[in-house]
Amino acid sequence: MKRVSPESESEPESESGRSPLLPGAIPDSDSGAARLDSDSGSFAQLLLQHYDAHRRDLPWRQDADPYRVWISEVMLQQTRVETVVPYYRRWLERFPDVGRLADAPADDVLKQWEGLGYYGRARNLHQAAGLVRDRHAGALPSDPALLRALPGFGEYTVGAVASIAFGRRLPAVDGNVRRVLSRIHDRATPTPAWLRATAAALVPADRPGDFNQALMELGATICTPRSPRCPDCPLRGLCLARARGTVDDVPARRRRAAVPTVELATAVVRDAAGRLLLVRNPDAGLLGGLWGFPVAEPAPGEPPLRAAAGAAVRAGATVHDAEGAELPPVRHQFSHLTATYRPFLFEGAPALPPPETAASARWLTPDEIRAHALPVAQRRILAHARA
């Protein structure tokens, strides 16, 4: 299951003859004829009954502790459930409460997050934990307005945490909810504002957190993007897209912009003691706070080998042999670009005196590197270098 953060705010669009807001045209399952029903109770009742009978046994559903709900919801954004489960368990062993998370060094937090991607989530968790410790006596606030003031708390996260942990009647619209509501109303291009308004009107006063989880789970397990299991859906009698035969076309697929590509020359510098040179990325920006080998984007016409050697020197190394051995390239897909790393292995040593840019550099043995958070691509480069 991937949870996709809501899009930016926009004005609600007119209904233009589409189904009414609650809960829409309700086709009879046998005849396909439609009747109108303005009562959302049947929607919530059917959904919660199905959820109670079929919900997955996930570790974050064992209790509604606000801290645990928060951690799970952030981890689940853009990440599949099966990937999150082991990370979630390890995270709670290391940071069992807000205080432990707030007091931990940033490097430790990023190391626990290593491999989950979208590292800004981990940095926001750490910063928000410090604010909760200092401003709210270590307890996550139940007031949605106070939650919104914390780093990383957008509309989705506020709705999910407030409803699941505190019983607040708020919607939580992720990519799964978008798909379910679009099909229920046969709406090909729902706006974010329409989705929030529609979801908010459906959330019941009783069990709002379970309702939101049930709606997300329905999209993750039954109302899937491809080959949805319509006969198993508890809302099949309410679904306009099913009645009209448009399920496979709703919601309309978004046109994605072309993803740019970039080549990054990478310097793997090894000294006489077998230590490798690593640099820490600035906190702001892509892969902020993580460690990796020095990289540089070659200038037009510049050989990657020369660009890599220059990156090594700027990071604080003296390169003994500018003709470094080329290692296998590593390709990595980020959300907004495709990067191909061109690594070169150099023999070198720390520069004396080191340049100012070397302040965030360290010479580390392979065993010492294990304690530092490295992105996936950098770990693959390390494996090639050790091989």
Residues serving a catalytic function are 73
Burial of residue 14, with CB atoms counted within 10 A of its CB: 0-12 exposed, 13-18 middle, 19 or more buried: exposed
The CA distance from 288 to 61, in Å, is 31
Beta bridge partners of 291: 280
Assigned token pair, 101: 């998370």
CA–CA gap between residue 350 and residue 362 (Å, rounded):
9
Angle at alpha carbon of residue 134, lines to 133 and 135, rounded to 5°: 100
d(CA 122, CA 114): 9
Q: Rounded to an integer, what distance in angstroms lies between the CA atom of residue 50 and that of residue 36? A: 23
**Three-point CA angle 373, 380, 346, nearest 5°:** 95
Among all chains, which residue has been given the structure tokens 């019941």?
204
| Cβ–Cβ under 8 Å, residues 305 and 268 | no
Rounded to a whole number, what is the distance in angstroms from the first to the last CA of the chain? 35
Helix (H) or strand (E) holding 124: helix 120-135
Residue 356 token pair: 């100012």
Element (H, E) at 112: helix 106-113
Nearest to 241 by CA among 185, 190, 195: 185
How far is C-alpha 348 from the geometric centre of its chain's CA atoms?
38
Judged by DSSP in three states, 317 sits in strand
Sequential DSSP letters for 227-281:
S--GGG-TTGGG-HHHHHT-GGGSSPPPPPPPPPEEEEEEEEEE-TTS-EEEEEP
Instruction: Say if residues 27 and 33 touch (Cβ distance below 8 Å).
Output: yes
